[in-house]
Structure 1
């Protein structure tokens, strides 16, 4: 919510005020749903404590639910054709490490601790991703504009 309420210099000049509000609301809903999922997952782990199977089922259900939505959002079938080697590797890498491993780590953490412990570190993922982008990719966080 800090990003939505931030009143400093423009970070990205191509977005509108409505985009920031919509993004902030969607981010809030996402965190609330993730919190509910962690609490539910903790109760499921007490009955069925096999983390790998739960991570697989979570990703499978997400794929089944989101595949039709993705095909409805992008009706151009040529957009779904895999591109040259590097972009294809990036897609596979983000699927394996960006989703599967992170879900497995969250489920493993839920098995060891309670949901409050896991949820307290979730918002830090944005800051960690931004810091890694600056350190390893040379990203610029703020584009300060001179006022004349």
Structure 2
């Protein structure tokens, strides 16, 4: 019995980690594929609307059959909460993040996404979800230093592209176009980095918001389905910011259709449910720790499969962002060790009190 219990506890301990890692691998591959589709001229919010609609369609039957007995009553406040969740975690986030993806690359956008833990930590301090007093401790100092290194990596990604260092497949036309429009490309690169930063910040806000929403409405399939429904209409409205052509909604390219379905199923439905569940198990800040997996997945997928060239600035900036992340994690681990050393005496005292009470009852 103890062995089985031990095995079960190990599975329970590591399953949120495995789930969040898988979700980030999926998001990385989605980003690389969406980048390829956006380069073909597709309206990025049309992709956003379709992927959210597919997500809602996939999750609706799961929500109905798996959660109908445990689902809390939907109130007006909960509807507003899910509307906000759709704005932060889907429509507005995708609006800015996919613009950043369009103007840069899947690797660069993934690097900005890798700074999610640092941004989430900074926002938690601003919103008073974390105590400012912890900054004076060694773990707090490490987390601040890690955050600053992450920001430095982001600045490097933004303002230094550098020479092309690797490209298995040459693209003479693309290189010629780049040389003819060097200044325009540089401006779009900086703008794309700004958009990716805004998108990542909105995702951080969503993770913090989702942590409270999970408590009020703990049904992951129903919650993600509601979020996707709201986000579908929000994305449709946002798609009109540039032009209002009904032809944008007619997709006849097979690759783009595949990307939309893959993004809707893996990048929206599966990854959002997995992330929401992991936030519930691990907390918003710790769940965001695994976002560098998105960068690795996007880079490998982008370079090896889609044959996109790599640049020196992207590599150095990405390495700096990941180094900053793991300095941040070092501080987080120190913080957990301090908490662990404080908890056992309390637990032992409670255990002794319980044993004494049980003993007195038995003696009676």
Query: What is the TM-score of this pair, normalised by structure 2?
Result: 0.36
Deviation at residue 44 of structure 1 after TM alignment: 1.1
Alpha-carbon offset, residue 37 of structure 1: 0.8
Count of residue pairs the alignment pairs up: 143
CA distance in structure 1 between the partners assigned to 2:196 and 2:266 by the alignment: 21
Deviates more, 1:32-41 or 1:85-94: 85-94
1:51 is aligned to: 220
2:276 equivalent among 79, 96, 107: 107
SS at match of 2:278: helix
How does 1:53-132 map onto structure 2 within 5 Å?
Answer: 53-83=222-252, 85=254, 87-132=256-301
C-alpha deviation, 1:140, in angstroms: 3.5
* Residue in structure 2 matched with residue 141 of structure 1 by the alignment: 309
Q: Which runs of 5+ in 1 are unaligned?
A: none
Instruction: Quote how far apart the aligned CAs of 1:123 are.
Output: 4.7
Greater CA radius of gyration, 1 or 2? 2
Query: For the Cα contact (< 8 Å) 2:162–2:311, is it kept in 1?
Result: no
1:9 aligns with 2:174: no
Q: Distance in 2 between matches of 1:63 and 1:43?
A: 23
- 1:23 maps to which residue? 192
Change (3 A) 1:71 1:48: same
> How big is the shift at 1:127?
3.1
Consecutive unaligned residues of structure 2, counting only runs of 5 or more, are 1-153, 166-174, 313-364
Report Cα offsets for 1:44-91 as digits up to 9, x if no partner.
Answer: 111221111111122122112110221453433223223165543332
Deviates further, 80-89 or 93-102: 80-89
Query: Cα RMSD between the aligned structures?
Result: 2.5
In the other structure, the counterpart of 2:143 is none
2:34 equivalent to 1:34: no
SS across alignment from 1:105: helix
Judging by fraction of residues, say which structure has more helix: 2
> For residues 13-38 of structure 1, what are the alpha-carbon distances to aligned partners after superposition, in whole Å with 9 as ceiling and x for unaligned?
25522211211111111111111111
TM-score of the aligned structures, taking structure 1 as reference length: 0.80
**Contact 2:211–2:280, Cα closer than 8 Å, also in 1:** yes
| Cα 1:124–1:78 shift into 2, 3 Å | same
